[in-house]
C-alpha cells in the first residue's frame, strides 16, 4: 500500500482510531475494577501492565507477520481485540482479566506494527514526520474518544458494562480492514520487496553492526516516554485522583482527556515543525516539557496535577519522532531489526510502568515518577549538546 494514497491512508487511520477507543476507556475504570474485584495494588499493576507485556512479547513476531502478510496482521487485530474485551467484560477472576488484557495488548501490537510497517516502508520524503504523526493522531483521537465515552456513560453502569460499550468501535475497525484490503490490495496482499525482506530478516552482520550514539539515545528516550505514558495514564492519575482528591469516574476521565486533548492539538504542528527545523531540536523541547509534566503529576497538589496533565500531553506529542531519527541513521537492511528492538524496549517499559508503581505502592510511586522526569531532563541536556 502506498501511504501517499488518500483512500489507503484514510482507511488506515480509521482502523487505528477504532482500535484504540477501548485503550482509552480502561484507565478511568481502574479504581472501580480495584473495588469491585477486591484487587490489591500489585495485582492492579499486573493487570494494567499486562497490556504492555503482550505488546513486548509480540513485537518481533508481529513485525515479521506484517512484513510478509500485512493484510493478515491487520485483520487479526480486531478479532483479538474483541476476544480480549469480551473476557474483560465477564468480570471474571483475576487470571481471566489478565488474559483479556494480554489479548488487547496483542491486538494493539498487530494494528500498530502493521500500520507503522505501511508508513515506514513507504519512501522517505519531506513530510515523513508528518505522516508518522498523522497515524499517531488517529490513535490519540481514539484514546480520547474512549475517555470521553467513559465520562458520558451513566455512572451507575458497572465497570464491565462500560468497558463492553467501549468495545463497539472494534466492528468499525474490522470493517475498515476488510475495505482496506480491497481498496489497495496490491501492497497489502503481496510479498515484501527484496529490501523489505532483508529488513525483516537481518543477517548476523546486520544485527552485530555498531549502533550510532544518536540511535541509542532514541532508544533511551522511547523507553522514558513509554514509562511515563503507562505509569501516569494507566496508574498514577486514576489512583491519585480517586484516593487523594476524591475524583469520580468523570473527573478521572477529564484529567486524562486533558492530556490527550493537548496531545491532539499539538501533534500535527509538532510533526510539521520537526520536518522544517529538524527532529532533534523538537525532541529536546519535548523531553524538557515531559520532565516538568511528570514532576507536577507525581508530586503536585490538584492544581499542579491539572497543569501537569497538560504538560504531559504536550510532551507526548513527540512519541513518534524517535522512530524517524532511527530511520535517518539506519540502513534499510537493518531497519526492521532496529525498529523491532526499539519497540520491544518501548513496550517493555509500557509493561513495567504500572507494574513498578503497583509494587512500590502509593508512598514510593511519586519518587519513581520524579526519577523518570529527571531521566527526561538528562536526555534533553544530551540532545541539546548535539
Is residue 210 situated within a structural domain? yes
Is residue 124 situated within a structural domain? yes
Size (the chain), residues: 386
Residue 208 or residue 296, greater confidence: 296
Query: Containing H/E element for 296?
Result: helix 279-299
Residue 336 or residue 51, greater confidence: 51
The three cell numbers of residue 326 are 532511527
The model's pTM is: 0.74
- Whole-number pLDDT of residue 8: 65
Residues 6+ apart with CB under 8 A from 45: 235, 354, 355, 356, 357, 358, 359
What DSSP line would sit under 318-337, residue for residue? GTTHHHHHHHHTS-HHHHHH
- Whole-number pLDDT of residue 194: 41
- In this predicted structure, the answer to whether residue 197 has a pLDDT above a threshold of 80 is no
Is residue 244 situated within a structural domain? yes
End-to-end C-alpha distance for the chain, whole angstroms: 36
Residue 73 or residue 290, greater confidence: 290
* Buried-state track 264-301, b at ≥16 Cβ within 10 A, e below 16: bebbbebbebbbeeebbebbbbbbbbbbbbbbbbbebe
- In this predicted structure, the answer to whether residue 127 has a pLDDT above a threshold of 80 is no
- In this predicted structure, the answer to whether residue 79 has a pLDDT above a threshold of 50 is yes
Q: How many domains does the chain have?
A: 1
Residue 258 or residue 327, greater confidence: 258
- Whole-number pLDDT of residue 128: 55
How does the average pLDDT of the chain come out, rounded? 83
- In this predicted structure, the answer to whether residue 201 has a pLDDT above a threshold of 70 is no
Is residue 313 situated within a structural domain? yes
CATH code assigned at 25 = 1.20.1250.20
Is residue 130 situated within a structural domain? yes
- Whole-number pLDDT of residue 341: 81
Is residue 201 situated within a structural domain? yes
- In this predicted structure, the answer to whether residue 6 has a pLDDT above a threshold of 60 is no
- Whole-number pLDDT of residue 7: 60
Q: Which domain holds residue 189?
A: 6-384
Average pLDDT over residues 211-219: 89
> pLDDT-derived band of residue 3, with 50, 70 and 90 as boundaries?
very low
Is residue 199 situated within a structural domain? yes
Q: What percent of the chain has a predicted confidence (pLDDT) above 90? A: 37
Average pLDDT over residues 87-114: 92
Is residue 1 situated within a structural domain? no
Amino acid at each position: 500500500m502506498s501511504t501517499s494514497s488518500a483512500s489507503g491512508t484514510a482507511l488506515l487511520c480509521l482502523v487505528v482510531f477504532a482500535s484504540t477507543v477501548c485503550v482509552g476507556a480502561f484507565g478511568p475504570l481502574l479504581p472501580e475494577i480495584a473495588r469491585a474485584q477486591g484487587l490489591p495494588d500489585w495485582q492492579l499493576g499486573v493487570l494494567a501492565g499486562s497490556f504492555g507485556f503482550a505488546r513486548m512479547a509480540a513485537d518481533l513476531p508481529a513485525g515479521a507477520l506484517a512484513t510478509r502478510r500485512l493484510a493478515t496482521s491487520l485483520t487479526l487485530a480486531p478479532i483479538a481485540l474483541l476476544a480480549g474485551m469480551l473476557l474483560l467484560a465477564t468480570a471474571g477472576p483475576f487470571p481471566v482479566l489478565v488474559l483479556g488484557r494480554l489479548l488487547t495488548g496483542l491486538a494493539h501490537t498487530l494494528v500498530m506494527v502493521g500500520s507503522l510497517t505501511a508508513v515506514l516502508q513507504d519512501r522517505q520524503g519531506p513530510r515523513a514526520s508528518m505522516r508518522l504523526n498523522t497515524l499517531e493522531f488517529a490513535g490519540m483521537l481514539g484514546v480520547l474518544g474512549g475517555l470521553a465515552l467513559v465520562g458520558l456513560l451513566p455512572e451507575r453502569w458497572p465497570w464491565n458494562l462500560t468497558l463492553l460499550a467501549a468495545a463497539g468501535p472494534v466492528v468499525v475497525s474490522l470493517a475498515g480492514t476488510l475495505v482496506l484490503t480491497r481498496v489497495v490490495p496490491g501492497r497489502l496482499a503481496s510479498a515484501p520487496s527484496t529490501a523489505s525482506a532483508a529488513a525483516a530478516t537481518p543477517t548476523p552482520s546486520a544485527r552485530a553492526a555498531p549502533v550510532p550514539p544518536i540511535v541509542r539515545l532514541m532508544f533511551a528516550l522511547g523507553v522514558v516516554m513509554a514509562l511515563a505514558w503507562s505509569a501516569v495514564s494507566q496508574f498514577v492519575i486514576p489512583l491519585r485522583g480517586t484516593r487523594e482528591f476524591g475524583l469520580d469516574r468523570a473527573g478521572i476521565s477529564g484529567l486524562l482527556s486533558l492530556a490527550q486533548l493537548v496531545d491532539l492539538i499539538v501533534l500535527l504542528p509538532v510533526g510539521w515543525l520537526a520536518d522544517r527545523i529538524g527532529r532533534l531540536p523538537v525532541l529536546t523541547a519535548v523531553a524538557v516539557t515531559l520532565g516538568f509534566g511528570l514532576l507536577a503529576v507525581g508530586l503536585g497538589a490538584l492544581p499542579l496535577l491539572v497543569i501537569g496533565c497538560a504538560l504531559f500531553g504536550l510532551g507526548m506529542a513527540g512519541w513518534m519522532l524517535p522512530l524517524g531519527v532511527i530511520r535517518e541513521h539506519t540502513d534499510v537492511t537493518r531497519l526492521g531489526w532496529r525498529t523491532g528492538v526499539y519497540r520491544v524496549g518501548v513496550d517493555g517499559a509500557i509493561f513495567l510502568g504500572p507494574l513498578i508503581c503497583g509494587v512500590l505502592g502509593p508512598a514510593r510511586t511519586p519518587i519513581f515518577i520524579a526519577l523518570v522526569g529527571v531521566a527526561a531532563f538528562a536526555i534533553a541536556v544530551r540532545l541539546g549538546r548535539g
